[in-house]
A and B are shown apart, each in its own frame.
Chain A
Amino acid sequence: MSKVAVKVDHVTMRFNLSKEKVDNLKEYAIKFVKGQLHYNEFQALKDVSITVNKGDRLGILGLNGAGKSTILKVIAGVYKPSEGHVERHGKMAPMIELGAGFDPQYTGKENIYLYGSVLGFSREFLDEKYDEILEFSELHEFIDVPLKNYSSGMKARLGFAIATIVEPEILILDEVLSVGDAKFRRKCENKMQGMFDKGVTVLFVSHSIEQVKNLCNKAILLDHGKLIAQGDIEDVAAIYESMTE
């Protein structure tokens, strides 16, 4: 098995940003006849190549609109890159937004099975881990209540508990550490620390440079879709800090 966990190879991601979104036939036909069907092409990522080794904890830095979330979504397989390709070696746990697969009409219990299967777990596996999820999320008395009656903190707790039930080899985090109250945040951080100690590969996006410094050993810096720096966290963080001043 190779040492590489994630390899992003010359990835370019293009979006068609039409000035107004043409999503109905009438407009499309009119614009087509008039020859006004042109798009403003926007490149969210420009020829980005990165290699993340197993056990690396990579922070992704950049200003708003630099392409941080886009690169995470490309790595997670949500976006298919316009050019280039991505290789992933290992079981991945994407935590881009906790509870993205939840259904508000479903109860907490039903959502555990639904969201669990979205993440690719089997029913038997979820049966086995059900108590553990319940324990971690501390939602015992609410588990049979429809999710629409949950607070956002409760949803985040449930989402985190389900997503971290496997020991992933690659963990993708997009600002998820800022959810819940201080007590639950500490619990999450402890659980993550446990995973880090086992050598999980982490890809982490956050605006808080402190959090990134605490968590990561490597970093990349994106600016308008271009990779402008990569290396050890201290070096890259210094460049980022000079940029934000």
Chain B
Amino acid sequence: MIWGKTLNNTIPEDIVNKYLKNFTRYRFLLKELVKKGIKLKYRRSYLGIIWTLLEPLLTTIVLTIVFSSLLGYNSRPGQPYAVYILTGRLLYGFFNESTKVAMRSIRANSAMIKKVYVPKYLYPLASVIYTFVIFLLSLMVLAGTEVVMGVKPTIHILECILPIIVLFLFSFGVSMILATISVFFRDLEYLWNVITMLIMYCSAIFYYTDRLKGLAAKLVRVNPLYCIISNFRSNVLFGRSILTGGDESQMFIYALVVSLILDVVGIYMFYKKQDEFILQI
């Protein structure tokens, strides 16, 4: 077992092998960290894991009441407004939560990082995975709401796995970038709160995009999270395919490409800077 070897004189294949071997060695730790995240999130609350279902449901009720009675947004035929909100709310909620938890993960585990060797990428990765598991559970609320609201599912509902995968890749890429930078600049946590708010308003969670014009329409369109949400709604709410060409397919490819680029950038940044973490935390 040789860990400290300098990478300059080894061929890339060796590096990949080394990382794969290390990953298999620490896969139990990844599992434990994911389990820990889920277990501790709801420990000491009476309703426990039920909150994953209750919380989006309650916020959706509030948003629906506010926007339909105060601002006059209404359901369109066959597309209940509450389901429209809930889909956006769930996907945005995962992105928001996973990036925030992952951003803090290095600092939160500093006691461990300072004392024992552990591959550091496990912390942001475990954070994204555990919030993802909670997110998948919360999709049950969506299924329930669709049944109650009388949404007629089509075969294309099965396609929704695609935007969900893109959402994971997108959140992971952003998380790795944030995790790296926030070790050096703690302000990022506050800055990110503001940025996620901007992203939220640009994600069409509670409004319809066809009313947008000019700059606002462009801003929403370049937001990968909006593209993912729009794809997801096509599948689970409008019952349409996203693979038949046209606007939705373009959005899907755009979001996928952006996500993959962010993943590469994030992993590269993290890999380059990880040895300096210990000197900062």
Contact = CB atoms under 8 A, between A and B. Distances in A.
B117 A88 contact: no
Interface in A76-127: 76-81, 85-92, 94, 96-97, 100-101, 103, 105-106, 110, 113-114, 117-123
Interface string A205-230: 00000000000000000000000000
Contacts of A77: 3-4, 117
A22 B115 CA distance: 24
Interface residues of A, number: 40
A117 B188 CA distance: 31
Contacts of A121: 28
Nearest to B111: A100
Contact of B184 (A23, A110, A113): A23
Given A23-B184, A103-B36, A122-B28, A78 B4 contact: no
Nearest to B113: A78
A24 B118 CA distance: 27
A16 interface: yes
A173 to B, nearest CB: 13
A28 B188 CA distance: 13
Contact of B118 (A87, A88, A97, A118): A118
Given A15-B279, A78-B114, 7 more contacts: A23-B186, A77-B4, A90-B1, A94-B116, A101-B112, A114-B36, A117-B32
B240 to A, nearest CB: 44
Nearest to A16: B279
A88 B31 CA distance: 27
Given A85-B5, A87-B2, A105-B43, A79 B29 contact: no
A120 B29 contact: yes
A28 B185 contact: yes
7 contacts: A23-B280, A24-B186, A87-B2, A90-B1, A101-B115, A119-B116, A122-B28
B32 A113 contact: yes
B147 to A, nearest CB: 37
A120 B25 contact: yes
Interface of A: 15-16, 23-26, 28, 74, 76-81, 85-92, 94, 96-97, 100-101, 103, 105-106, 110, 113-114, 117-123
B70 interface: no
B40 interface: yes
Contact of B26 (A28, A96, A120): A120
A78 B111 CA distance: 12
Interface of B: 1-6, 25-26, 28-29, 31-32, 36, 39-40, 43, 111-118, 184-188, 191, 275, 278-280
A100 B111 CA distance: 6
Nearest to B117: A77
B43 A88 contact: no
Given A117-B32, A118-B112, A24 B117 contact: no
Given A15-B279, A24-B187, A118 B29 contact: yes
A117 B111 contact: no
B59 to A, nearest CB: 26
Given A79-B278, A117-B32, A118-B29, A96 B187 contact: no
A49 B105 CA distance: 35
A101 B116 contact: yes
B275 A80 contact: yes
Given A16-B279, A97-B115, A106-B36, A117 B29 contact: yes
Nearest to A122: B28
Q: Which 4 A-B pairs have the closest CB atoms?
A: A100-B115, A77-B117, A86-B4, A117-B29
B1 A88 contact: yes
Contacts of A94: 115-117
A158 B116 CA distance: 16
A101 B114 CA distance: 10
Query: Which of A88, A96, A118: most chain B CB closer than 10 A?
Result: A118
A113 B3 CA distance: 24
A65 B153 CA distance: 68
Contact of A117 (B31, B191, B280): B31
A80 B271 CA distance: 13
Given A23-B184, A23-B185, A89 B1 contact: yes
A93 B1 CA distance: 13
A100 B116 contact: yes
Contacts of A74: 4
